[in-house]
Amino acid sequence: MPASQRRWSVFAAAALAVAVLAPSGPGRAQSYEAQLEVRVSTLEQQISQLTGQIEQLQYQNQQLADQLKRAQADIEFRLNELEGGGGGAKAAPAPAPARKAPSQGSAPAAPRTPQPFTPTPLVPPKRSDAGPVPQGYEDQGDSLTAPQEMGAAEPGPAPQVPGFASTEPQSYGLGGAAPVDATAAYNQAQGLYNRGDYNGAIAGFNQVIAASPGGGLAGNAQYWLGESLLAVGRPGEAANAFNAAWSMDPRGPRAPDALMRLAQSLVAARQDRPACDAFARLVADYPDAPAQMLRRAKDQQLLMRC
């Protein structure tokens, strides 16, 4: 075959190959792009699922951290009671809180006592499922009138917050006799709470409060009474208990926790204005509280437009 014909044959074969392969090129490219889009979409879905799982784990971790912190504060309080000789005491009330100065006058000093809330009229809930009017309010037509002032951390009648006048121990099916050993009753009530028997814990913590009014384990019992009441869906009564726990020791290690739970109970009871007051009190009076707690209080203020 002449060289010219050979070259022409090679050229024709190459042209034929190009003609055959040319239509399949864009199709293959489009198929590859479609596969990439599917893979990218799958990865985006997986990332979204992982993000949701991370957020859920962060929330659970925060809940566990809060429970651990409350348990540590409770253990510390009980150890202090034992070291101070307060464990196993009878139902004799303490004459005065430990922080009071031994004054010879008739008016003992109460330094650094938090200022009272400024009460404001509250609009009652309009929804049918809003629940009963919280204790301490008097129905006066279109508004609920809050108590006038929260007092200092004095034994006797507990101070008040707007919307919840009574912080004295309440009876929840208790017998007439007080327990012989307040510490044993407290430990028993704490065990009931840990096992999820919240109604039994409510009765037990009320026994402790009745056995040591105004002192001893009463403050801790009021706090866990509030937790038990929240667990059974009684936020109004829980707010009373948290307010009493905070008022008994407004400068103690548990005070920020008690005030935070008071505010959250008020939110659950749909009492937004006093809840805003409680969040503001927490931020203003406890700047050394855990940063995460203060951040949550500020976020709640923004959410509620306090």
Instruction: Give the tens place of pLDDT for each residue, 110-133.
Output: 434 444 443 333 333 333 333 333
CA 68 to chain centre: 13
In whole angstroms, give the CA distance from residue 110 to residue 113.
6
Check whether residue 60 and residue 121 sit in a common domain. no
The range of the structural domain enclosing residue 80 comes to: 1-86
Q: Work out the pLDDT band at 75, boundaries 50, 70, 90.
A: confident
Q: For 26, what's the count of Cα atoms within 13 Å in the CB-facing half-sphere?
A: 2
Residues 73 and 208 in one domain: no
What is the distance in angstroms between the CA of the first residue and the CA of the last residue of the chain? 98
Tell me what pLDDT residue 63 has: 66
Least confident of 2-11, 190-199, 207-216: 2-11
CA-CA distance, 216 to 257, in Å (whole number)?
19
Residue 141 CA to residue 282 CA, distance in Å, equals 31
* Contacts of residue 164, Cβ cutoff 8 Å, sequence gap at least 6: 134, 135, 136, 147, 236, 239, 240, 243, 266, 274
In a shared domain, residues 25 and 169 = no
Whether residues 57 and 153 share a domain: the answer is: no
Q: Give the chain's mean pLDDT.
A: 68
Q: Are residues 72 and 165 in the same domain?
A: no
Query: E strands along 6-60, which residues?
Result: none
Is residue 31 scored above 70 in pLDDT?
Answer: yes
pLDDT average, residue stretch 170-188: 62
Domain of 225, CATH number, reads 1.25.40.10
Residues 49 and 151 in one domain: no
Task: Decide: helix, strand or coil at residue 56.
Answer: helix
Query: Structural domain tally of the chain?
Result: 2
Let me know if 303 is exposed, middle or buried by CB neighbors in 10 A (0-12, 13-18, 19+). Answer: exposed
